[in-house]
Amino acid sequence: MGFETVLIANRGEIARRIIRTARALGLRTVAVYSEPDASAPHVREADDAFALGGAAPGESYLDAGKLLAAAEATGCDAVHPGYGFLSENGAFAASCEAAGLVFVGPPAPAIDAMGNKAAARKLMAAAGVPCVPGYDGDDRADAALREAASAVGYPLMVKAAAGGGGRGMRVVPGPELLDDALALARAESRAAFGSDELILERAIVDARHVEIQVMADAHGAVIHLGERDCSIQRRHQKIIEEAPCPVLDGALRERMGKAAVTAARAIDYRGAGTVEFLLDADGAFYFLEMNTRLQVEHPVTEAVTGLDLVALQFRVAAGYPLGVAQEDVRISGHAIEARLYAEDAAKDFLPASGPVYDWRAPAGEGIRVDAGIDSGFEVSPFYDPLLAKIIAWGETRDEARRRLREALGATVCFGLTTNRDFLIAVADHPVFAAGEATTRFLDDNDLTAAAAGPPAPEALALGAVIDHILARDDARARAVGVAAELLDWHSGGAGESRCRYGGNELLRVRPDGDHRYAVSLGDHR
Amino acid sequence: MSTVSRVPAAGPEFTANRSEMLGLVDRLRALEGRAAALSERRRDRFEQRGQLLPRERLAQLLDPGMPFLELYNLCNFLVDDPDPDTSVPGGNMITGIGFVSGVRCLIFVDDSGISAGAATTQSVSKALGVLDIALRQKLPLIHLVESAGANLMNYAVEMWANGGGMFHGLAKLSAAGIPTLVVLHGPSTAGGAYQPGMSDYVIGVKRNGMAALAGAALVRAATGEVASDAELGGSEMHASTSGLVEYLAEDDAHGLAIARDVIARLDWNRHCPAPRRAPFEPPGHDPEELAGVVPVDYRRPYDIREILLRIVDGSSFTEFKAGYGPQTICAQASVMGQACGIIGNNGPIDPNGATKAAQFMQLCDQAGTPLVFLNNTTGYMVGTAYEQGGMIKHGAKMIQAVTNVRVPKISFYIGASFGAGNYGMCGFAYRPDFLFTWPNAMTGVMGGEQAALTMDMVARGAAKRRGLSPDEGQLAAQREAITAHFDRQSDAFYTSGRCLDHGMIDPRDTRRVLGFVLETCGEARARSVNPNSFGVARL
């Protein structure tokens, strides 16, 4: 059941991450790309690349027909879906198998079993996995939900039955707000998932989001690789993740791990998966959902276990036994991952797009960076604004946190607005530093003020001067001959250069003699 | 050979000179600022039309930080408006030599912020002057066009007759194998329509760019046809229907980006091996001191070697025949690693000085060394001794030499440049490759005082012949009037306004200007071009 050539049906950092391990395993890799991604790093790094055309996901990375055609045209015998896009689409997994391609992921029925949140809850409850009290009855009409709501109790969560990623999800503090929440959640769910079926769950306040990584092979082995704490979330979007969870002890880890393994076994799981739980202050945990794919935050697990999850995925997909027993899994040290997004914390986290003039990833002891961009790449508005993940490992949690803080400070993504300073504000916050953050952390602490919005005028001015000098030296290199002492000189005494960064204000650089420059930004000087 | 400066850079004389000279430089900068400020006042109108101002266009066209040498910066000063407090210099255009995509180009920007870019009396001289420089120095010409043409209310037939030379010049450039490029930012009507018409590459800016032999008003008056400017000559029409526009731009900035791209794709510098440049040291004496070592009044003598020390590499030069005709200084030196022969004056030119200079010019011509003339002379010597010593004959040899040498000639008016001495020292009519003036310079047939005294003598002689006694009051008034009449016309601001040089510079920039133009001339001579007989036609 071996394979030699893998189609990587994804983009950005995860495509590069998969290419890296595939290479190490001697596999040939084929990248796919949309029109705006033609010059993306993942395209260059693969052995072969196939143009999907189109820009919006629906006409590129979500178009199963195009992906299967790409696999055929480039002689692939396996498909790795990464995360997002078609990674949790059972129909796509099935059509890969039907086309004779090994799908590097769970079997289609396992995906489908977890795909519907309501069905999954029932299945898990039946298998003995603890679930949040809630309602997932067949009658999904508003009247039935209203009645059920009083039984579930407030505060509660209204969730899209088909959902994920925070969309179609609303917290309802009391009964008077239920009708509005139902209407909004239905509309969002319909728009996002094409289904307006909703379920209700008790909202567990002051909880931590703790998830267990599981791995299963085709020979009946199911193990877990410990947990990740993903409590730092903004509107259910994870921002910072870590392993291990600061409050988990060995016994609780054992219990949660067992629950996760039970969940995986219940659906005949294979490959890498993640079982998500809410952990309340009393140590009680409740099943949330299972993600039947590789997670964005898998590197923290890799950092503390020393395992390569993508390599394990390939091994299991090829039909080999896992080769790692539960007792072989050792958690060593602590790892924290921060997600660098192209978004403006000062403008309600509005996604940003545009060219990255200069990308410099941090490096150092214990630092790993999985980036989807490089200098000169233009970030398009069509896809998830995740630019890079910065992962720091340390002997202790605080060492990892300090290394992460340093690495974020050394990260340069010039030209594009990012959440870097917001991430630094989180890493510096005493509650996070003490390991006490729950999912309410960002609701309780407004860190947007601490995170600078647009770049400081001084930084822009410095950038403009650097660009001026680079452009000048480039022009001089192309010229026939210009003496150095003539540079930055206009006989009229008034030469200036002009530049703009990503729609920002006009910057004017005026040489002031003796290697000094005056920079005007709008009205500032 | 080392020469020691005798001017202490902190003495009272130096300080006084410097303060006077910098006063004149301030006046120059204020005049340049006057044109820029006037143009800036139209900002609202430009922004309403989605346009960049002319100086913004220039900044966006040029390579950041590369040098730019403005040409004819004082054009038309005191010509149409005799009032020095209000006259606007520039001739409603900004011209100079600068770099676009690493290519040394002649840049010509219509200053449409002033009188909509309409031509002034001296504008034609300026335009013809820069076209001539482009041809001689093999510089691609980039013209950013937006001009109302000539103001019909100020119509003068000469402007029309001479103005045809613009298109003659464009045709000659194209035939000489030197590309010409126009960015059509705004209107270019009537004669002006040939500006894009005669250029090799035309970039038309949508909505604002317009070229037509007659605009809507004239067409209606002449033929009764009602047509819009867009139909008659819009960029969009020319790009798709008439074929006048090669590249269509969304806006000014895009048009300039296309211009940079077109120039880059010429790969123009592959036709030019870099001229050899010797390693060099900067002058040991700071060029900044040039403002202090020269008295503003040319009648106060000083040693021209003080200037050499502050413009040549390492402050080092080799004097030629130092002891022969010593008032005329000839020296070999280099500027930014480029060899040159420099001729300067410490006063009038005598027969020995003239023959020495003529010989030196021939030697430089033989060696292919560019010549630099530092004009500081009241002219050739007069008087019996000099006439009998063959001043005419020797002066004529010098004028013949300066006319016929084949090497680049670069002149500076740094003090006096009077009479035939100006001719021998490569003045305006001797077609120097470049000629710049300092703000203190005085040029003319003779000094005002000299002229007044001459006319005084003539008047006294005439009175005597008629047996009358001279009217001293009238003579004094006449002397004053003649002095003023001559001095006003000798003043560098006046002559520069009449385009009798290529521009006025800050004396402290002399080394940079010289280094820059030597590079320009050196490049032109090293460059091979592909001339053709008729210029490139738009077929």
Q: pLDDT tens digit string along B199-243?
A: 999 999 999 999 999 888 889 999 999 999 999 999 999 999 999
pTM listed for this prediction: 0.68
pLDDT score, position A496: 86
Say if strands B180-189 and B141-147 run parallel, antiparallel, or are unpaired. parallel
Backbone torsion region of residue A459, taken as left when φ is above 0, otherwise alpha when ψ lies between -120 and 50, otherwise beta: alpha
The alpha carbon of B128 is separated from its chain's Cα centroid by a whole number of angstroms, namely 11
CA A136-A138-A140 angle, 5° bins: 80
CB proximity B277 to A under 8 Å:
yes
Whether residue A495 contacts residue B62, with contact meaning beta carbons closer than 8 Å, is answered with yes
Q: Is the per-residue pLDDT at A192 higher than 80?
A: no
- Across the interface, whether the CB atoms of B67 and A498 are under 8 A apart is answered no
Report H helices in A159-249.
178-193
Say if strands A285-291 and A271-279 run parallel, antiparallel, or are unpaired. antiparallel
Single-letter amino acid, residue B123: S
Say if strands B201-205 and B247-249 run parallel, antiparallel, or are unpaired. parallel
- Across the interface, whether the CB atoms of A471 and B65 are under 8 A apart is answered yes
Whether residue B417 contacts residue B350, with contact meaning beta carbons closer than 8 Å, is answered with no
CA B231-B233-B235 angle, 5° bins: 100
Whether residue A373 contacts residue A379, with contact meaning beta carbons closer than 8 Å, is answered with yes
Backbone angles phi, psi at A482, to 5 degrees: -135, 125
Backbone angles phi, psi at A73, to 5 degrees: -65, -30
- Across the interface, whether the CB atoms of A476 and B277 are under 8 A apart is answered no
User: Tokens standing for A140?
Assistant: 């999904």
- SS3 label, residue B125: helix
Q: What is the DSSP letter of A170?
A: E
Q: What is the DSSP letter of A182?
A: H
Residues 6+ apart with CB under 8 A from B297: B440
Residues 6+ apart with CB under 8 A from B473: none
Alpha-carbon gap, residue B418 to B426, rounded angstroms: 12
Alpha-carbon gap, residue A346 to B456, rounded angstroms: 82
Complex ipTM: 0.93
Q: Which of B3, B5, B25 is nearest to B293 (CA)?
A: B5
Alpha-carbon gap, residue A393 to A369, rounded angstroms: 11
- SS3 label, residue A19: helix
pLDDT score, position B154: 77
Q: Is the per-residue pLDDT at A502 higher than 80?
A: no
Whether residue B499 contacts residue B279, with contact meaning beta carbons closer than 8 Å, is answered with no
Q: Is the per-residue pLDDT at A525 higher than 60?
A: no
Q: Is the per-residue pLDDT at A165 higher than 60?
A: no
End-to-end C-alpha distance for chain B, whole angstroms: 60
- Across the interface, whether the CB atoms of B68 and A495 are under 8 A apart is answered yes
Q: Is the per-residue pLDDT at A148 higher than 90?
A: no
Backbone angles phi, psi at A336, to 5 degrees: -130, 135
The stretch A272-280 carries a mean pLDDT of 95
- Across the interface, whether the CB atoms of B269 and A479 are under 8 A apart is answered yes
- Across the interface, whether the CB atoms of B96 and A485 are under 8 A apart is answered no
Which residue of A469, A471, A486 is in closest CB contact with B512? A486
| Closest chain A residue by Cα to residue B31 | A492
Whether residue A177 contacts residue A113, with contact meaning beta carbons closer than 8 Å, is answered with no
pLDDT score, position B4: 75
Alpha-carbon gap, residue B471 to B474, rounded angstroms: 5
For residue range A306-365, what is the model confidence (pLDDT) as tens digits? 999 999 999 999 999 999 999 999 999 999 999 999 998 888 899 999 999 889 999 999
What is the average pLDDT value for chain B, to the nearest integer? 94
Residues counted in chain A: 525
- Which helix H or strand E contains A98, and what residues bound it? helix A90-98
User: Tokens standing for A357?
Assistant: 């003039």
Tell me the percentage of chain B whose pLDDT exceeds 90: 85
Q: Which of A387, A352, A382 is nearest to A37 (CA)?
A: A382
- Across the interface, whether the CB atoms of A479 and B99 are under 8 A apart is answered yes
| Closest chain A residue by Cα to residue B436 | A491
pLDDT score, position A452: 59
Confidence of residue A453 (pLDDT cuts 50, 70, 90): low
Count the helices and strands in chain A (H runs, E runs): 16, 26
Q: Is the per-residue pLDDT at B1 higher than 70?
A: no
Give contacts of A467 with chain B, Cβ < 8 Å. 64
pLDDT score, position B152: 74
- Number of other residues whose CB lies within 10 A of the CB of residue B2: 9
Alpha-carbon gap, residue A12 to B54, rounded angstroms: 43
Confidence of residue A389 (pLDDT cuts 50, 70, 90): very high
- SS3 label, residue A260: helix
Alpha-carbon gap, residue A11 to A32, rounded angstroms: 7
For residue range A203-243, what is the model confidence (pLDDT) as tens digits? 887 899 999 999 999 999 999 999 999 999 998 889 999 99
Give contacts of B96 with chain A, Cβ < 8 Å. 491-492
List of E strands, A34-138 = 48-51, 78-80, 102-103, 134-135
For residue range B307-359, what is the model confidence (pLDDT) as tens digits? 999 999 999 999 999 999 999 999 999 999 999 999 999 999 999 999 999 99
pLDDT score, position A308: 97
The stretch A486-503 carries a mean pLDDT of 82
pLDDT score, position B181: 98
Q: Is the per-residue pLDDT at A497 higher than 70?
A: yes
pLDDT score, position A499: 81
DSSP annotation string for B42-82: THHHHHHTT---HHHHHHHHSPTT--BEEESTTTTTTTS--
User: Tokens standing for B77?
Assistant: 């000063």
User: Tokens standing for A49?
Assistant: 């690349």
Chain A interface, mutation test: which of B63, B105, B340, B527, most A Cβ atoms within 10 Å?
B63
Higher per-residue pLDDT: A163 or A22: A22
Residue with tokens 């003579």: B475
Whether residue A136 contacts residue A199, with contact meaning beta carbons closer than 8 Å, is answered with yes
CB proximity A488 to B under 8 Å:
yes
Number of A/B CB contacts below 8 angstroms equals 113
CB proximity B32 to A under 8 Å:
yes
Q: Which of B364, B357, B432 is nearest to B396 (CA)?
A: B357
Tell me the percentage of chain A whose pLDDT exceeds 70: 96
The stretch A169-183 carries a mean pLDDT of 87
Whether residue A293 contacts residue A83, with contact meaning beta carbons closer than 8 Å, is answered with yes
Confidence of residue A167 (pLDDT cuts 50, 70, 90): low
Alpha-carbon gap, residue B185 to A275, rounded angstroms: 63
Residues 6+ apart with CB under 8 A from B177: B529, B530, B531, B532
Residue with tokens 């978004």: A343
**Burial (0-12, 13-18, 19+ Cβ within 10 Å), A440:** middle
What is the average pLDDT value for chain A, to the nearest integer? 91
Q: Which of A378, A367, A454, A382 is nearest to A417 (CA)?
A: A454
305-344 in chain B: CB under 8 A from chain A: 336-337
Alpha-carbon gap, residue A41 to A16, rounded angstroms: 8
User: Tokens standing for A335?
Assistant: 């790892």
For residue range A123-141, what is the model confidence (pLDDT) as tens digits? 999 999 999 888 878 888 8
CB proximity B282 to A under 8 Å:
yes
The stretch A270-274 carries a mean pLDDT of 96
- Across the interface, whether the CB atoms of A472 and B63 are under 8 A apart is answered yes
Backbone angles phi, psi at A58, to 5 degrees: -60, -30
Which residue of B63, B73, B269 is in closest CB contact with A492? B73
Residue with tokens 């050739």: B380
Q: Is the per-residue pLDDT at A287 higher than 90?
A: yes
Which residue of B60, B68, B269 is in closest CB contact with A480? B269
pLDDT score, position A202: 86
The stretch A424-431 carries a mean pLDDT of 93
pLDDT score, position B303: 95
User: Most distant CA pair in chain B: distance in Å?
Assistant: 83
Give contacts of A475 with chain B, Cβ < 8 Å. 63-66, 99, 101-102
Q: Which string of b and e fits B255-268 if b means at least 16 CB within 10 Å?
A: bbbbbbebbeeeeb
Residue with tokens 């040693």: B303
Confidence of residue A160 (pLDDT cuts 50, 70, 90): confident
DSSP annotation string for A313-328: HHHHHTT------GGG
Residue with tokens 């407030």: A154
Single-letter amino acid, residue B80: D
Q: Is the per-residue pLDDT at A494 higher than 70?
A: no
CA B451-B456-B460 angle, 5° bins: 155
pLDDT score, position A512: 85
pLDDT score, position A143: 87
Q: Is the per-residue pLDDT at A426 higher than 90?
A: yes
Whether residue B238 contacts residue B208, with contact meaning beta carbons closer than 8 Å, is answered with no
- Which helix H or strand E contains A212, and what residues bound it? strand A208-216
- SS3 label, residue A157: strand
pLDDT score, position B390: 95
pLDDT score, position A470: 92
Confidence of residue B5 (pLDDT cuts 50, 70, 90): confident
Q: Which string of b and e fits A372-395 if b means at least 16 CB within 10 Å?
A: bbeeebbbbebbbbbbbbbbbbbe
Confidence of residue A429 (pLDDT cuts 50, 70, 90): very high
For residue range A38-95, what is the model confidence (pLDDT) as tens digits? 999 999 999 999 999 999 999 999 999 999 999 999 999 999 999 999 999 999 999 9
Q: Which of A284, A289, A241, A12 is nearest to A124 (CA)?
A: A289
